[in-house]
Amino acid sequence: MSGTTAAEVLFDRRGPGGRLGVITLNRPRRLNALSHAMVREIAARLEEWNADDAIEQYLLLGAGERGLCAGGDITEIRDDVLATGGAGAGRFFADEYRLDAATAELPKPCVALMDGVTFGGGVGLSAHGRGGRVVTERSSIAMPEAAIGFVPDVGGAYLLSRMPGGLGLHAGLTGARLGAGDAIATGFADVFVPADALPELVRRLEAEAADAVLDDLRRPAPEPALAAERTWIDEAYAGDDPLEILERLDALAAAHPGAATAAEAIRAASPTSIFATLELLRRNREAPTLRAALELEYRVGMRLAVAEDFAEGVRAMVVDKDRSPRWRPGSLEAVRREDVEALFDPRGGATLDWG
Ligand code: QUE
């Protein structure tokens, strides 16, 4: 297995007997964007640590000041698609989604510091854990993939599809950034800890049980900002037709500035991604397990990763940063239903195998 050059992820064991296994995403200049090598290293280390009785609990955090993780390294995926047609991208997503599933099935407590930016692949790595998902007043949690011609993946469509009322569609279609209060209200996170208590949290995890430390350091979560918006959100996102959702958002915009912002974000996103996100959330609502949801996200995601909008979206948002993607088709009206349906067709689709 090829290693990473400058230790893009750090592993260390702290406390008596090395009882705390610490995983630090360490690519701060890329906001800790997850490379394929990082995914493979984390997966291998978790497997080793899961079997090591001296390890009692885990801590996941991001290096630098800006946050846990910007997402998967979509420039690496785009480069592979453009150079080789996406075989490497398929292995990247498969390894990443298997890791996401593994974080949901860990045999020991894991505290994930969802401090600062936690988007896309960062959500997949942290938000499937149970009991120890920590947000702070700096947290900004989002699934912004529709803006790059993709769909919420890494089990994000599964989480979004289970959110109350219209919140999941709102977050999935617009990429809305959720603060700590909303992250907890929607189920992305469990506990609020003020950012200035994080050093103490990290230190105490070396010697104390995670649930006891969190019980001690948790504070009442801030008010969820979206709770006050639920009247228009639930009204706007009822139904599965993106054109009707936009019509309702436009009608609500005069009374609710948030509805105008949401309509703007949906109009800026890839039209194909908007249709695909709606359908993916609709279908994943019925998914019996996270793994089943990941299998569907993989099939749809692989078809989108090799389509034009993804390369163009990543170019516009991350490579050139002009923020002016030229989508094809270029409007919601021009998207053909049968092309959306075809993204979900099991026949000829990529299969995520569980190894
Ligand atoms: C939407 C996204 C992502 C994004 C921008 C979007 C995303 C992602 C990154 C990202 C950011 C910095 C990096 C990097 C990737 O940007 O998922 O490699 O250095 O990972 O508008 O979904």
- Extents of the domains making up the chain: 6-344
Residues 177 and 139: their CA atoms lie apart, in Å, by 9
pLDDT confidence of residue 287: 98
Q: Is the CB of 30 under 6 A from ligand 1?
A: yes
295 belongs to the catalytic site: no
Four-CA torsion 270, 272, 274, 279, nearest 10 degrees? -160
**Ligand 1 centre from 217 Cα, in Å?**
31
The residue nearest atom 20 of ligand 1, judged by CA position, is: 71
Per-residue exposure over 343-352, b if at least 16 CB sit within 10 Å of its own CB, e if not: beeeeebbeb
Compute, in angstroms, the gap from residue 156 CA to the centroid of ligand 1.
15
Longest dimension (CA), the chain: 61
Q: How far is CA 248 from the centre of its chain?
A: 27
Ligand 1: distance of its center to the CA of 347 in Å? 30
* pLDDT at residue number 122: 98
213 CB-near residues (< 8 Å, 6+ apart): 111, 201, 204, 205
Contact call for residues 318 and 79 (beta carbons, < 8 A): no
Consecutive 10-residue averages of pLDDT for the chain (355 residues): 71 98 98 98 98 98 98 98 97 98 98 98 96 95 98 98 97 98 98 98 98 98 95 95 98 98 98 98 98 98 98 98 98 98 98 95
Tell me what percent of the chain is helix, strand and coil, each rounded to the nearest 5. 55, 10, 35
Atom of ligand 1 nearest to the CA of 75: 18
Domain 6-344 adopts which CATH fold? Answer: 2-enoyl-CoA Hydratase; Chain A, domain 1 (3.90.226)
Per-residue pLDDT at 355? 84
